[in-house]
A = this chain, B = another copy of it.
Amino acid sequence: MAARKQLVLGAVFYGVGGPGQHHTWLSPEIPGDASVDIRWYIARAQQAEAAKFDHIFIVDSQFITPDSPNHYLNRLEPLTLLSAVAVHTTNIGLVGTLTTSYNDPFNLARRLASLDLISGGRAGWNVVATGDGGTAGNYGRKEHYDYAARYGRALESVKVVQGLWDSYEDDAFPRDKERGVFFDKSKQHPLHHVGEHFQVVGPLNIERSPQGQPVIFQAGDSDEGRDLGASIAEAIFTHAATVEQAVAFRTDLRARAAAKGRDPDHVLIVPGFNPIIADTDEEARAIEAERVGGKDFDRALKELGRPFGWHDFTQYDLDAPFPELGDAGARSFKTQAEGIKKLAREHNLTLRQVVQRSIDSQRSPFVGSPLTVANEIQRWFEAGAFDGLNIGVAVPSEFARFTDQVLPILRERGIARTEYASTTLRGNYGLPVPANVNAR
């Protein structure tokens, strides 16, 4: 069951090669320094906007090691980046990742509200709590917050930030030059928040934008992560390997949202995919085989360490059983780490087999001719697997395969838009403008 008639479409930036896109930086279409070249981001965003995409999405992290994937190593900070993109685009939504573990809510509120005004109501905030445990060391902490503190802070942060965003009623600034009245101070409202993690007096020093408040996004797999998403998110980013898994995730999230008294149709589920599209199914599969086969095994071995707090797997015999790791990962990507350990245990896998499975799991479910891919997307959408999808935008010609060959089919079938409905992100999603809690 699809909750909406038309797909939400997002273009995701992993820098120069990310999950499932490690090959991208080698593409002759991409400048070597793309991940720090604002002109590249602007051009890619304009390409997505020309195809009437709802949003672009910038991932982020605050911790790297010499072995981090290329796209983490050298990249622009999301809001600085999006602000520059904002003034070279007009309709597309601008979704930036900012962590609640290592930012003060007052600063988060200001920066997102600024982007929202600069873009005329197109800002979105991907709320993350940070998975990489090593991030703590960049912020004066010995250890990363545990799951309870991490998600407790995330929930409270969002509430504080949203409270600050309502500091002014919509008519707080008459700016009446004739009467000399700039401001109506009775319409300014401090927050006086006192909570478990934060105390913030307020008010903010910035008014609301045309969409009322930036749209809240979330991405997290654990039970705590899903609960947070169900509580606060208006859109949820995720991964999905099969239609069954995607339907189960979406059903679960909608049920959790409903249980919290929210309208599940106001929680859009948007997994990310890297479709492989060619003239024929055979050609597409050949490209896929080359990519999956060509993927550097050593790099995959290193990246396997990430959910375990960048545990070093090169120290083990590849053909011995998957090693005992104790509680490595408890403060990093717990769900992912536990999932890998369980898989290895249940199937008695060697380390080499686990790495191979992780390589295989990054295969895209959408591989084939434009018609095949369009059919599959439609099937997933109608099965209730998602409200829309994020597509990697890195390689212009690959992205153009989607926009120029797949999208027209989806448009003809009425499940992709032909024109923007609005100049705001909420407007294009069909989400309501949140009422100002201070409005009388």
Q: Give A residues with C-beta under 8 Å from B.
A: 16, 25-26, 28, 32-33, 36, 38, 42, 61-62, 64, 66-68, 70, 72-77, 79-81, 83-84, 86-88, 102-104, 106-107, 110-111, 113-115, 117-118, 134, 137-140, 168, 173, 175, 177, 180, 182-183, 185, 188, 198-203, 205-207
Contacts and interface: CB of A to CB of B under 8 A. Distances in A.
A62 B107 CA distance: 9
A200 B77 contact: no
Contact of A74 (B64, B72, B199, B207): B207
A26 B188 CA distance: 21
Contacts of A38: 86-87, 117-118
A205 B62 contact: yes
A93 to B, nearest CB: 16
Contact of A83 (B25, B83, B117): B83
Contacts of A173: 32-33, 73-74
Total copies of this chain within the assembly: 2
Given A77-B114, A106-B138, A137-B199, 10 more contacts: A32-B182, A33-B175, A64-B203, A66-B188, A74-B206, A77-B206, A80-B114, A84-B84, A107-B107, A137-B201
A174 to B, nearest CB: 9
A193 to B, nearest CB: 10
B26 A177 contact: yes
Nearest to A42: B87
Given A106-B139, A138-B200, A201-B138, A84 B87 contact: yes
Contacts of A83: 79-81, 83-84
Contacts of A199: 137, 140
A394 to B, nearest CB: 14
